[in-house]
Structure formats: C-alpha cells, structure tokens
A and B are shown apart, each in its own frame.
Chain A
Amino acid sequence: KNQVEQSPQSLIILEGKNCTLQCNYTVSPFSNLRWYKQDTGRGPVSLTIMTFSENTKSNGRYTATLDADTKQSSLHITASQLSDSASYICVVSAGPGGSYIPTFGRGTSLIVHP
C-alpha cells in the first residue's frame, strides 16, 4: 500500500530560525515527489517537485532534498518568516504501472513566532 509519512506533526519556531521537515514514502514505482504549502483556509500550492534523478531543488528560501534509495525527502526552510506559518504537505506520485492518484502525507503544521 502506498503511504507517505511526515514528521514532525507540528513545529513551532522563532522568526529568523531555520527548520527541516521530513517525509518518508513507500510509493512504488516512484515518479516524483512534491512539497505543497497550505495556508490556513486556502488550497495547497506547489513549492517544489523532484523526480528520481534529482537530489535537491530550491525555491527561494525553501530547499527540498530527495534520497530515492532510502525513500526520504526533507524540506528545509531558511531564515523563517511569519508568512511561512502554514501546513506543509508531502505528495508522492507513482510512475507507469502504479496508481496515478497522488499519495498525500498528513502534513506538518509550522508556526513561526515573532
């Protein structure tokens, strides 16, 4: 069964600090992994996407890494801002022969305090 597990479930940090969110998956065959940001009461918005051959991808202060061997990904946020407060969702999609329905993690709720 395809699964995506995220940790921690919630995280509180001070403005300006860095943080790292984790994602472990068992989706097979693997196609790509995306990180979404969901502001409270809004729809999720894609931050990064990585395929099998990519180890790291940056989008401003967001840097995602992927280890396809251990089936782990991380999202690193540098110099956090209040606007980073949101839920961060890891989504993994299967390749040919697998389900084309993406598998969602339950998200990490990040709160950035001033």
Chain B
Amino acid sequence: SQTIHQWPATLVQPVGSPLSLECTVEGTSNPNLYWYRQAAGRGLQLLFYSVGIGQISSEVPQNLSASRPQDRQFILSSKKLLLSDSGFYLCAWSPRSVIIPGELFFGEGSRLTVL
C-alpha cells in the first residue's frame, strides 16, 4: 500500500532562518506531488506541484521554493523565513495515470511557527 511521510511535524524557527520540510512517498512510482499551506482558519493554498523529477511549478509568488531530487521525494525550502510563512504545511500525492483525476492523499502536516 502507498504511504506518505512528512517531517518534521512541528517546527519553531526565528525570522531570517532557513527552512527545509521533507516529504516522501512509498509504494508508488511517478506520483504527482504537491505542497499546500493552510493558514489559521483559512483554506488550503497550493504552493507548488511537480509532475516529475526536477519539474516544479509554482502557483503563487512567495518566499519559498521546492525541489524534487528523487521521484518520490519533495522538499519545501526557504533561505530566510518571514513571519508570514507561519502555517500548517501539507504534502500530498496523486497517482500519475488515473481514470478519475484529483485523488489526493495527504501527509500528516508540518506546523511551522516563525517567531
């Protein structure tokens, strides 16, 4: 069966410090991968998605970047965190070839607090 792992679960970082959140998927090949952010009381905002190694699409301009060094690994990074980067970050994957699109499987999330 497929599983998705996301870490760390909780992170408290000072303003201006770097960030690295990691996500790995097991049990499938060539998944589509996504990073979402959820601010307190808000909906899910798509940050990045990837359809293959080294292929990253950004949905919104921001202080963050994403990379996909391996087929089932997705990394969210920042060189210098801002207060506004605080939030709940979710990694998700979807099968590449599907009959019914849009089936997303989410990780457990990473709670980032920037102080």
Contacts and interface: CB of A to CB of B under 8 A. Distances in A.
Do the two shown chains form a genuine complex with each other?
yes
A104 B44 contact: yes
Contact of B43 (A34, A43, A45, A107): A107
10 contacts: A31-B101, A32-B101, A41-B109, A43-B92, A43-B109, A44-B90, A44-B104, A93-B100, A100-B32, A104-B44
A93 B102 contact: yes
Contacts, number: 57
B107 A43 contact: yes
A31 B102 CA distance: 9
A23 interface: no
A32 B59 CA distance: 22
B109 A106 contact: no
B109 A42 contact: yes
Interface in B97-115: 100-104, 106-109, 111
Interface in A75-110: 89, 91-95, 100-102, 104-107, 109
Interface of A is mostly: strand
A72 interface: no
Interface residues of B, number: 21
Given A43-B90, A101-B46, A49 B101 contact: no
Contact of A32 (B42, B44, B100, B108): B100
A45 B44 contact: no
B35 interface: no
A46 interface: yes
Interface in B64-114: 88, 90, 92, 100-104, 106-109, 111
